[in-house]
Amino acid sequence: MQQYDLFVIGGGSGGVRAARMAAQRGARVALAEAGALGGTCVNLGCIPKKLYGYAAHYAESFEESHGFGWSGPGPSFDWATLKRNRAIEIMRLNGVYEKLLIGAGVQLLHGRARLAEAHAVEVGTERFRAANILVATGGAPHRPEFPGQELAITSNEIFDLEPFPRRLLVIGGGYIACEFASIFNGLGSRVTQLYRGAQVLRGFDDDVRAFVAGEMTKKGVELRLNAGVASLQRVEGGLLARLRDGHPLEVDAVLAATGRWPNAGGLGLEALGVQRNEHGAIVVDDAFRTSVPHICALGDVIDRVQLTPVALAEAMTLVDRLFGSGRRTMDYGSIPTAVFTHPNIGTVGLTEAQARQQYGKLRIYRTDFKPLRHTLSMSTERTLMKLVVDDASDRVLGVHMVGADAGEIVQGFAVALKAGATKAVFDATIGIHPTAAEEFVTLREPVA
């Protein structure tokens, strides 16, 4: 039986990073993956979603070009070409991940793994022993329950949907639902989005939530709040959704984007006494140890912060503990994130509501404006920028933006927040003119 210092179950972002870094430190490492390498991010998440997001902007860009003197026949969109080119790029990335692992000396096993006993993993009919085992199996889309739910697709199937949906119903109000609503609206679908709550993007700053909902609606997404699907059935020409208010809605496809659950079933965790919480996530301590100390877990399967860069940082922290100095720690504070709606959202730090709970008096700086580009494009799109500041210390607690390239802009300000920058530091920074980003360092008067 082959012996390893680390056996990784799952070839997503966190698992691959942990395997590579451990092997580069001299550990004997094996990694088992039943599907394509790269996990959700590469195959069914961040990368293909952003590629489709780029595609969705072109029709709008062609329309806006008229204000800058461009004219000519409008473009046509070929869904098959986009799907084919995306698949080629994803296959290239799968190959890159494989080369990185093999180059680092990791033994790569193609198959579904499960824990057989305390220090043993089974992959197919083979059994492997390991001093440490890492579970990094990610998450999976959650399907809402209603009659006909099997007729809805999830974000796993949306990228290769056939034929292209001229009428798309999106169920959900989180970032995945909002992103796909924006994408398919931009590609030419008539999109209806239903969310059971009073406003989309729960957990984000309230000003951001309201602003992006308004911008998405202006661009053509029909957003229905406090709404949901009661049943779904196939009819001639498409699908018939019966809404909770009794109204019918006929569409070509239904996307259920109502969150993701940890993918921890069928791994043999229960037999070994590995604890999971009420949502199915594996419970770990600050060192990513489970209730069985030599079995570790990280990434979406522990359901702390479901972001690829977080899984990568968790992997680096774990490898340092197992095969390094052990001084590296994981800091979940001020994690920047972006939502690739149209327009984009970029955010880091506390929302206004969170800051009011944790601090005393605040100063809020907020502006919304028409970007320079749209003074000629004739687009009605606007940009929102907001700073949340602790009045006592002058420290900037939150930076929030809705607008073009918001993620690219907020990434730089995330460094400032991590360094503890004050509003005075922002004020003393010279802006780059003319840019949208300079607004963050020229906001002078707090709002009431």
Q: Which of 416, 424, 438 is nearest to 390 (CA)?
A: 424
Strand order in the sheet with 167-171: 222-225, 190-195, 167-171, 253-256
Of 66, 342, 400, 433, which is the active-site residue? 433
pLDDT of residue 12: 98
Residue 448 confidence (pLDDT): 87
Q: Residue 23 contacts by C-beta under 8 Å, 6 or more apart in sequence?
A: 29, 101, 104, 105, 106
The pLDDT, as a whole number, for residue 165 is 98
Q: How many CB atoms lie within 10 A of CB 297?
A: 29
Two tokens, residue 306? 């479901």
Contact assessment for residue 339 and residue 201, using Cβ atoms and an 8 Å cutoff = yes
| HEC assignment per residue over the chain | CEEEEEEEECCCHHHHHHHHHHHHCCCCEEEEECCCCCHHHHHHCHHHHHHHHHHHHHHHHHHHHHHHCCCCCCCCCCHHHHHHHHHHHHHHHHHHHHHHHHHHCCEEEECCEEEEECCEEEECCEEEEEEEEEECCCEEECCCCCCCHHHCECCCCHHHCCCCCCEEEEECCCHHHHHHHHHHHHHCCEEEEEECCCCCCCCCCHHHHHHHHHHHHHCCCEEEECCCEEEEEEECCEEEEEECCCCEEEECEEEECCCEEECCCCCCHHHHCCCECCCCCECCCCCCECCCCCEEECHHHHCCCCCHHHHHHHHHHHHHHHHCCCCCCCCCCCCCEEECCCCCEEEEECCHHHHHHHCCCEEEEEEEECCCCHHHHCCCCCEEEEEEEECCCCEEEEEEEECCCHHHHHHHHHHHHHCCCEHHHHHHCCCCCCCCHHHHHCCCCCCC
Whether 342 sits among the annotated catalytic residues: the reply is: no
Q: What pLDDT does residue 118 have?
A: 86
Q: What is the dihedral of CA 211, 213, 215, 221, to 10 degrees?
A: 180
**Nearest-CA neighbor of 180 among 206, 208, 161?**
161
Whole-model pTM: value is 0.96
Q: Annotate 234-260 with b (16+ C-beta within 10 A) or e (fewer).
A: eeeebbbbbbeeeeebebbbbbbbbbb
pLDDT tens string, the chain, 448 residues long: the values are 789 999 999 999 999 999 999 999 999 999 999 999 999 999 999 999 999 999 999 999 999 999 999 998 888 999 999 999 999 999 999 999 999 999 999 999 999 999 999 899 999 999 999 999 999 999 999 999 999 999 999 999 999 999 999 999 999 999 999 999 999 999 999 999 999 999 999 999 999 999 999 999 999 999 999 999 999 999 999 999 999 999 999 999 999 999 999 999 999 999 999 999 999 999 999 999 999 999 999 999 999 999 999 999 999 999 999 999 999 999 999 999 999 999 999 999 999 999 999 998 999 999 999 999 999 999 999 999 999 999 999 999 999 999 999 999 999 999 999 999 999 999 999 999 999 999 999 999 999 8
Structural domains of the chain sorted by starting position, each given as residue range(s) with its CATH number in brackets? 2-141+261-323 (3.50.50.60), 149-257 (3.50.50.60), 337-441 (3.30.390.30)
Structure confidence at residue 74 (pLDDT): 84
Q: How many residues does the chain have?
A: 448
